[in-house]
Chains A and B, each alone.
Chain A
Amino acid sequence: MDELELLKKDWKKDKTEYKNYSDSDIQPMLHKKSSSIVKTLFYISIAELVFWILVNVIPFFLSSGYKERMDQSYHSPIFVGLTALSIIVIFGFVYLLYKSHKAISTTDNAKKLMESILRTRKVVKYYVAFNLIMIFISIPVSLYLEFNNNNVFHDQVEAFNSKEMLILYLFTILLGGVFLLVFWLFYKLIYGILLKRLNRNYQELKKFEV
């Protein structure tokens, strides 16, 4: 006999070996907090949005010297352009995040539901990537602005010999690289743990498309 048929026979008996919840047991359950990954993903996304806004804004309030220099930087079209771009991206990100979260529906089929969740995760991923690229670009850009506006720094760099210049270049690249690596590892860890099971199940369903 087919193994599953035997199982089905038993399954159908409908023996109640589970606790039979009454209406008054079920009712409070409706108002408990969910621990679903969609909710966690949503909180992480909000935390990321706030984090990157703070990274950009906090130095402005903490140091008056920084504020002055920032004010000066706004004379540079590159800087104004990058700032405007950041603001547009933040609004774009909030919109896309809202839209992708709305699209997650538990009544879709399993594959579609997984795709919606992964799409939301991708929106966050692109936002993070954008911020990392901005950091990577802003390090040489701020050095360049500093070079033009700060006479002391200008004279120092002018006096560099070729070896010292090379060290400055290497240092800039290295700093950017370390930033990227640390963030990349951090995100791999957060999403790796959170979405491991989902990714595995999604791959399992996808295997059948080929």
Chain B
Amino acid sequence: MNKELEHSFVEQLQKHQNIVHKVCRLYTNNADAHNDLFQEITIQLWRAYPKFRGEAKFSTWMYRVGLNTAITLYRKSKRRISTQEFDAVEFKIKAEEYDDTEEQQLKLLYQAVHQLNDIEKALVFLYLEDKDYREISATLGITEVNARVKMNRVKKKLRTILNP
């Protein structure tokens, strides 16, 4: 592929890299895994780039490829710490240190989100990114009504994780 294409891709990815970082933040739980997934998403974005014709915004297109990589294509590397170990730690923190300060609450929220399954995380991610149900349904391939129903269940599930 030519240098010009590579240059414009790198430039755009550099500008919007936070989107990739945010996907990695939800789907991984340590720095090594984060970097691994970032690398894989970058490869997948670059491969899909020649077909990107600017019909959608570069960032919108990134959401789709990024999430697809995290949910479907990415194979967890061996370096990654198993989720089991991570979950056990979370529960301990939750029981011992719960208090009402916002910071603490946020920490627990992020931990709770990590306990969701891959599809639920995708819903949360798109919700946090202010995507409407039309876009959520188009990204995941489910109907808008189902996206709404699923989102409500995710909220409920989060509540249950936070207040067992």
Chain A interface (Cβ within 8 Å of chain B)? 2-4, 6-8, 10-12, 14, 16, 18, 20-23, 26-27, 29-30, 32, 34-38, 40, 105-114, 117, 194, 197-198, 200-201, 204-205, 208-209
Q: For chain B, residues 74 to 97, give those with C-beta under 8 angstroms from any C-beta of chain A.
A: 74-75, 77
Q: A8-B130, A114-B72 are in contact. List 18 more A-B contacts (CB 8 A).
A: A6-B106, A7-B128, A18-B18, A26-B10, A26-B42, A37-B74, A106-B47, A106-B65, A107-B51, A107-B65, A111-B140, A200-B117, A201-B71, A201-B119, A204-B119, A205-B142, A208-B143, A208-B149
Q: What is the CA–CA distance of A3 and B151 in the complex, to the nearest angstrom?
A: 13
A-B contacts, 16 of them at CB < 8 A, read A6-B106, A7-B106, A11-B128, A29-B42, A30-B46, A34-B47, A36-B73, A37-B73, A106-B73, A107-B52, A107-B65, A109-B140, A110-B67, A110-B71, A114-B72, A208-B149
Q: What is the CA–CA distance of A92 and B109 in the complex, to the nearest angstrom?
A: 52
Q: Is B68 an interface residue (CB 8 A)?
A: yes
With CB as the reference atom, state the residue of chain A lying closest to B118: A201
Pair A36/B74 contact, Cβ less than 8 Å = yes
Pair A205/B155 contact, Cβ less than 8 Å = no
Classify the interface of chain B: helix, strand, loop or mixed. Answer: helix
Pair B61/A37 contact, Cβ less than 8 Å = no
Pair B118/A197 contact, Cβ less than 8 Å = yes
A12, A35, A108: the one contacting B40 at CB < 8 Å is A35
Q: What is the CA–CA distance of A18 and B142 in the complex, to the nearest angstrom?
A: 32
Pair A20/B6 contact, Cβ less than 8 Å = no
Pair A106/B48 contact, Cβ less than 8 Å = yes
